[in-house]
């Protein structure tokens, strides 16, 4: 497995509370991504990063923010969690273009918002 | 225009049979088409990928067929095995820019013994 860890792996929280998910890589890859996976929707991109402090929105970014202060860490924050954000969250990384965009995924975080 | 449409949503195949999953896209700027395999409780993993300068790519029992004029590509799994039971996602991207992938909604494959 590519050196990607996600923490926590499981979390149950209540509506309105802030939540931060962490993605850590040991591959020194430039690109990092946050996806959510929901039945019937596949994988949808939330935010991505193309370098330290360089981030941009994906398809479903509303209600989420991200930060990347170091190459190895990419944080996803739900400022005020809602039940619609109950999902499995995956972090992914990819290297330079020579790898033809292969993305390596982490093990996922299952988040439940009550 | 950014969508990738995948079908079927689920597929049941007998051991030894051929599994076929199809994807279609609209954005003619896409030039990289990977397939990802995901087992329950795990993250997706790259299975096989193709670029539009070839019409077919084969790796073991897995083959991608690509039809550029129809803007379609498909995954064929020959001699399907119970261990192939997983969810498969097609995806597409352009080589330039932010390296973003657009994923299909997935196909749950069940291979019966």
- HSE of A35, CA atoms in CB hemisphere, 13 A: 25
**Chain B CB contacts of A90 below 8 Å:** 43-44
**Chain A CB contacts of B36 below 8 Å:** 105
Closest-CA distance, A24 to chain B, in angstroms, reads: 15
Name the burial class of residue A108, with classes exposed (0-12), middle (13-18) and buried (19+) by CB atoms within 10 angstroms of its CB: buried
CA-nearest residue to B105 within chain A is A42
Residue A40 has pLDDT above 70, yes or no: yes
Of A48, A92, A107, the CB nearest to B98: A48
Question: What is the pLDDT, as a whole number, of residue B95?
Answer: 67
**Quick check: B98 and A90 CB within 8 A?**
no
**Quick check: A42 and B100 CB within 8 A?**
no
Question: What is the pLDDT, as a whole number, of residue A102?
Answer: 80
Question: What is the pLDDT, as a whole number, of residue A36?
Answer: 97
CA-nearest residue to A106 within chain B is B43
Question: Quick one: CA torsion of A8, A12, A17, A21, rounded to 10 degrees?
Answer: 20
Closest-CA distance, A5 to chain B, in angstroms, reads: 11
Categorise residue B4: left if φ over 0, alpha if ψ from -120 to 50, beta otherwise: beta
Q: What are the residues of chain B with a beta carbon less than 8 Å away from any beta carbon of chain A?
A: 6, 32, 34, 36, 41-46, 49, 51, 89, 93, 95, 98-101, 103-106
**Quick check: A90 and B6 CB within 8 A?**
no
Q: What is the mean pLDDT of residues A41-55?
A: 92
Rounded to whole angstroms, how far apart are CA atoms A21 and A79? 11
Q: What is the mean pLDDT of residues A9-23?
A: 97
**Quick check: B105 and A45 CB within 8 A?**
no
Which residues make beta-bridge pairs with B102?
A: B92
Rounded to 5, what percent of chain A is helix, strand, coil? 5, 55, 40
pLDDT category of residue A37 using cuts at 50, 70 and 90: very high
pLDDT in tens, B15-70: 999 999 999 999 988 888 999 999 999 999 999 999 888 899 999 999 999 999 99
């Amino acid at each position: 497995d590519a050196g990607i860890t996600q923490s926590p792996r499981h979390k149950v929280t209540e509506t309105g509370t802030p939540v931060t998910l962490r993605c850590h890589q040991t591959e020194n890859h430039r690109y990092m991504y946050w996806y959510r996976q929901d039945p019937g929707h596949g994988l949808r991109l939330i935010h991505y990063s193309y370098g330290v402090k360089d981030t941009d929105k994906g398809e479903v970014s509303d209600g989420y923010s991200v930060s990347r202060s170091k190459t190895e860490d990419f944080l996803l924050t739900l400022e005020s969690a809602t039940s619609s954000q109950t999902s499995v969250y995956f972090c992914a990384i990819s290297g330079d273009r020579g790898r033809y965009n292969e993305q390596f995924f982490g093990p996922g975080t299952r988040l439940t918002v009550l | 225009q950014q969508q990738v449409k995948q079908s079927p949503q689920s597929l049941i195949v007998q051991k030894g049979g051929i599994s076929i999953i199809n994807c279609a896209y609209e954005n003619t700027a896409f030039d990289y088409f990977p397939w990802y395999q995901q087992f329950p409780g795990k993250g997706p993993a790259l299975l096989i990928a193709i670029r539009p300068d070839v019409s077919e790519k084969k790796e073991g029992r897995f083959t991608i067929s690509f039809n550029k004029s129809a803007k379609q590509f498909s995954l064929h799994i020959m001699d399907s095995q119970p261990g192939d039971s997983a969810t498969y996602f097609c995806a597409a991207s352009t080589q330039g820019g932010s390296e973003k992938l657009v994923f299909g909604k997935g196909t749950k494959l069940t291979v019966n013994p």
